[in-house]
Amino acid sequence: MAYLEINGYELPPPKRGVRPTVTTVVDAGRNANGAVVGQRVGRDQYKIDSLEWSWLTADQWAQILNVLSHFFVYVTFTDPVSNSLKTIKMYCGDRTAEPYWVDENGKPTHYRNCKVNLIDCGE
């Protein structure tokens, strides 16, 4: 099992620094005394932030982008709360990479600093 799987596709191992974030959503803020008056809404939500690969071939990066071309994807990862696998519906934010090597036609053959963020849809 890979660290992350998207729609059944096992992603290559990312570099260190991936930050799984767990967020508790509330329906309101604080009262005039500063006390929390909101209540929890639904379940905790997740963001997989700073998902990055130092170096990928153009084919590997294209495959990842292809898997993410659907707005909604199902991501399987290890939930830091339960330390067990969890699959949830997510969408991706910006996808960036730096072309590093190009062929004689100017087509990239390798990329570096390939980055993606995955955000929970809350379903």
pLDDT band at residue 37 under the 50/70/90 scheme: confident
pLDDT in the model for residue 123? 84
pLDDT in the model for residue 41? 87
What mean pLDDT is predicted for residues 79-87?
A: 94
Residue 24 predicted with pLDDT over 80 = yes
Residue 29 predicted with pLDDT over 80 = no
The Cα 30–Cα 96 span in angstroms is 38
Closest C-alpha among 121, 46, 116 to residue 80: 46
What mean pLDDT is predicted for residues 107-122?
A: 96
Percent with pLDDT over 90 in the chain: 76
Residue 69 predicted with pLDDT over 80 = yes
Residue 105 predicted with pLDDT over 90 = yes
